[in-house]
Amino acid sequence: MQSYTIGQAARLLGVSPDTARRWADAGRITTHRDEGGRRLVDGRDLAAFSVDLARSAGADDDTAYTSARNAFPGIVTAIKLGDIAAQVEIQAGPHRLVSLLTREAVEELGLEVGMEATARVKSTNVHIDKA
Q: What is the pLDDT of residues 104-118, one digit of tens each?
A: 999 999 999 999 998
Q: What is the pTM of this model?
A: 0.60
Q: What is the pLDDT of residues 13-67, one digit of tens each?
A: 888 899 999 999 999 999 999 999 999 999 999 999 998 888 776 555 554 444 4
Q: b/e string for 56-69 if b means 16 or more Cβ within 10 A?
A: eeeeeeeeeeeeee
Q: What is the pLDDT of residues 55-104, one digit of tens each?
A: 776 555 554 444 445 778 899 999 999 999 999 999 998 889 999 999 99
